Each structure stands twice: as structure tokens, then as C-alpha cells.
Structure 1
Amino acid sequence: MGAFVRSSRALAFGAFTSIALSTAAVADENKFGYSITISGASDYLFRGISLTDEKPAFQPYIEFTYGIGYLGIWGSNIGSRELAAEGFQATGPWEVDVYAGIRPVVGPVNFDLAVLWYTYGARTNPGGLTKGDLDYVELKASASTSPIKNWTFGLTGYFTPDQDLAIPQTATVEGSVAYELPHYREFAPSLTAQIGYATSWSSKYFGNGSGPFVGDDAYAYWNAGLKVAVDKFFLDFRYWDTSVDAPASLAEYQRLADSRFLFTAGVTLP
């Protein structure tokens, strides 16, 4: 019941914020639209930590827009039988996330204010986890701007209320930069980089020095790479790393947060 109440409050707060800001923002003419992105990746990294046990991921996404408002649904395979059997990561075999928010534009700044709902097809395991136990809600606020030609700078904050077994209270901040390289025929390349920091507060489920991030209570992560768009197709080559230092009890899982190269390919329709 506690998790449900906290989730409901988070959703209500997010909805209220979105409505208030959308009323104040100058919106474009209301128009319905949609897009579908289908991609495959060599791994599923969530803020630098592998959620597929370093295995490939299939990740479809569909988004509906109306004016500055949007609703998106994203999915991926997740976890592995090996990790689930050991009780370390029993969230698989799939993850489906629902995003709802607004993207107002104020002068030269593009905002993105949203509520995110992460859901998992959790297997029953020796610890008693069942489907729905690990679902949680998160709030997002993002701003980006392009003050210099070909350059885009962004700052994003996430706040996750304490939701019992699912996740402790967590705050995450990310900074990003992108540089659009000269196009060559139909090829549109760009260089992008990101640095982030996530920290959690203790809760009854994540106490005694066992944090939610492979044993850590806080960590930094970063990535840099090249993205190339060719019409509706895109390729992304990226290097990831984190500061995670797993405790001795979870040392065998340190690999999930170690440095690696990530390759992603996909198409966006229509």
C-alpha cells in the first residue's frame, strides 16, 4: 500500500506540474503526430549499468504527440536466467516504460517535463519477488539550448520517490553536449557526450551498506560517441564507463558497471 500511495502522489505531482506549465507556455498549434523507432543494441545500459547481463537488446519505441504534449511507450528485453537464478537481478525477462509529458519552448530553451513509469516482468524468485513488485515512478525535468551554431547543451534532472521494495529515494542529474559535424551527402554525423551522477538515500530495503547501484549508494557515469543518421536509419558507436566500486559481496557483478563499447542501430518511422 505504501508504494501505491507514494506512486500515486508522484503521478499526481507530475500531472499537476505538467498542466500548470503547459498553461503558462506558448504552445505551437495543436497537431497530432506519432513516430516509431525500432533499434537493436549490443547491450542495454541504464545509466551505465548493464541490465541484460552484457547481452544484446531489442528496443522498440512508439510516441504519440499532440501540440507540446506526448505519450511514449518503450520496451526492451532485460536480465538473464543466470542473474535471476542467483537472485541478483530478477526483473526480467522484459521491461516496458511509459512516458507522459510536455515539451514547451521558451525563447532559445527547449524544455521536457515528464512522468516516467518503469514496469518489469519480474519472475518469482527465492526472495519472493513477483511481477509488479519492482515497478516504480520517476519525475524528469530537462532543458537544452543551442547558443552556438552546431552545438547543443543539455541538463536533465530525475527524482525518484522512495517506493519500498522497488527503489529507494533517488536523485540523478545529467549534463550533455552534442556537436553536429558537416554532412556528407545523405550522411548526417554528430559527436555527443554525457556525464551523470546518481545518489540514493537509505531505506529499509537498501540499508547496511548495500546500495541499489551494484552495491553503491552513489556513483558517476559518462559516455561519448559518434552517431550517424542516414535518412530514417541511424548508427551509434559509444564508449561507456562508471565509477561503481562493488563491495566484496557483489564483486562478481562489478562487470555489469565496467567500461565498454556500445553499438546501436535502428530506424525511425514514418
Structure 2
Amino acid sequence: MTVSRKIFALCGVLAAAAAASTAALADGYEVAAPAAPVEEGRKFTYSFNIGVTSDYVFRGISQSDNDPALQGGADVSWGMLYAGVWSSMVDFNNAPPANAEVDWYGGIRPTWQSPLGAMNLDFGFIYYSYPGANPDNSLPVATADPNYWELKAGYSWSVLHPSLVTGTTVYWSPEYFAKTGSVWTIETMAAWTLPKVSVFTPTVNGVLGWQRGSISDGYWVNAIATDNEYYYWNVGLALAVEGMTFDFRYWDTNIGGDAANICPVDTLCDGRFVFSAKVAIP
């Protein structure tokens, strides 16, 4: 990451702090968040969000070369239907040569009244794009097309306790990042909202994820290309106050010191603490 981009990312911290007095949390990829109540009526809602993170980590792997990243997006919904766009700074050390990630997503969130209580369902898609990457699919993975899309299906509910939300989401891409073939990802989450402390509403939450691809399609996670799956996890504390959320989180994976391909070097997928601050309007 260049010095100018580091300065820009740090300026993002100040910008987020300046905007802190007005908004609510929203994000294109909000890990381990409690499920929001699903709006069954035909009500139109919208929100805009901006945030900054000390390290943009996606499924256990740093997407910003262990550096800060400015992020933001917009969301709309109409009853059960939703759509949005979310973007973040990225740094892959020119492999691929992208400076930003822009995610486009949409879907439907119905509610199923099960014998054990209401279950929130989510069926949707996500398109991950990297403007300016200039892919060349005739060359190695490092310069292959990074753009890809996923389908997802998941649920969340509070069957054990009103303050405890659990859920699982399955993702599938027919052609994953950098043309690495069909890839499955499964994430299980849990979030416990605690009683309010002063002005803050704390939530302890975490995710356990698993991802698997095909070595023959170019997906592997070790230097000798014999391992085609890995696990990742995070656990953290989110503090919400009016329109802002501060998130303190620990990330890690089971990828060892011989990381390669999906995680180019082990310093991008080893254990780390990440701090994020996000606001949204309205």
C-alpha cells in the first residue's frame, strides 16, 4: 500500500468520527451481527453507511494488506425484498491490481413461523467486482478475472432466548475469485445482546466458517497444492450507541505457515485483532 493510500485510510478514521453523531449500523458484509426484525409489510426503507476498519478481513483473510480501509454503501428494502451496494478499499499487492472492491447484492428475506418460533430466512445473491483490475484470463491466477458472484441461503432465529440469535448461511459460487472454480462456503453465527451499559448496547458475537474448492480448478490453500479447504472464525464485542457501532474483533484461520494461492502469505490469514467504526443515515 502506498504512503498516500495509508494517509487516505487514516483520514477515513477522522471522517467517520466526525459523522458519528447521526446514524445506524449498516454494512454489505456484517459478520456475526444479530438478525434484524424482518419487515413483512410493503414498507420502503433506505440507508447510507460509512465506516473505517483497521484491517479489511473477509473470511479470515486480509483484503487490505493488513492496513486500514475506508468503507461505505447504501441499502434499500421494500417489504421482504432488499438490495444494496457496498465498497471497500483493497490492496492485493497488484495480484490482482485492484484498489477497490464494489459488492452488489439483493434478495428476499421472508419469515417462517416454525413450531419453535419465528425464523428469518435470507435468499439472495452477491456480485463482487474489482474496478480497474484489468484481468487477463490467459495468464496465471494472480492476473485472472477477480470478479465473481455467489448465491446464498440462510436462516437466523432466537429459539433459545430472546437475546440470543443463532443462524447459518450457505454460499456457492460457480466461478470463485480469480477463476478458481466452484467454491462452497458455510458460516454459522451466534450473537448475544447484553443489557445496556450507560449509553452503549453491547453484543458479544462470533462466526465459524468453512470454505472448500477444487484443486483441479485452481483452488488451494497450501504451498504444495494438496489442501482445498480451510476454516476461519472470529469473536468480538460490538458497542452500539444511537447511530454508531464500535466493533472489537479477533480473527483467525487454520491456514498454516505454508499458505499459498487463496491466502498468498500466512501474514494475511493469521490471528489478528481488528477494530471497526461504522455509522449510517438514517
TM-score range, shorter chain: 0.7 to 0.9
Matches of 2:189 and 2:209 in 1, distance apart? 9
> Which residue of 2 is the match for residue 168 of structure 1?
181
User: Partner of 1:182 in structure 2?
Assistant: 195
Residue 29 of structure 1: how far off its partner (Å) = 2.0
Corresponding residue for residue 56 of structure 2: 44
Distance change >3 Å, CA 248–CA 112, structure 1 → 2: closer
Structure 2 counterpart of 1:97: 103
Tell me what 1:223 maps to: 234
Residue 149 of structure 1 deviates from its aligned partner by 2.5
Which residue of structure 1 aligns with residue 131 of structure 2?
A: 121
SS in 2 for 1:182: coil
From the two aligned structures, give the one with the greater helix fraction.
1
Measure, in 2, the Cα distance between the counterparts of 1:213 and 1:31.
48
Q: TM-score, normalised by structure 1?
A: 0.79
Partner amino acid for 2:281? L
**Amino acid aligned to 2:167:** G
Q: For 1:226-247, what per-residue CA distance to the aligned partner results, in whole angstroms no more than 9, with x for missing partners?
A: 0000000110000010011253
Contact 1:72 1:99 in 2 (8 A): yes
For 2:78 and 2:144, the matched residues in 1 are separated by 30
Taking CA–CA contacts closer than 8 Å with sequence separation of 6 or more, which of the two structures ends up with the larger relative contact order?
Answer: 2
Provide the alpha-carbon RMSD of the alignment.
2.7
The amino acid that maps onto 1:54 is N
Q: Which residue of 2 aligns with 1:191?
A: 204
User: In the alignment, which residue of structure 2 is the partner of 1:55?
Assistant: 67
Query: Structure 1 residues 73, 164: CA separation in 2 closer, same or farther (over 3 Å shift)?
Result: closer
List alignment gaps of at least 5 residues for structure 1.
1-25
What SS does the corresponding residue of 2:104 show, helix, strand or coil? Answer: strand
Contact 1:91 1:121 in 2 (8 A): no
Name the structure 1 match of 2:23. none
Deviations 1:197-218 (A, max 9, x none): 00002344x1xxx616886521
For residue 4 of structure 1, what is the aligned residue in structure 2? none
Partner residue, 1:70? 82
Q: TM-score, normalised by structure 2?
A: 0.76
* SS in structure 2 of the partner of residue 140 of structure 1: strand
Identical pairs, percent = 34
| Map 1:237-256 → 2, pairs under 5 A | 237-245=248-256, 247=258, 253-256=265-268
Q: Is the 8 A contact 2:84 2:106 kept in 1?
A: yes
Aligned twin of 1:152: 165
Instruction: Give how far 1:249 is off.
Output: 6.7
Quote how far apart the aligned CAs of 1:133 are.
Answer: 2.2
Q: What is the alpha-carbon distance in structure 1 between the residues aligned to residue 134 and residue 73 of structure 2? A: 27
Taking a change above 3 Å as real, the CA distance of residues 53 and 190 of structure 1, as seen in their structure-2 partners, is: same
Figure out how many residues of one structure are paired with residues of the other and give that number: 235
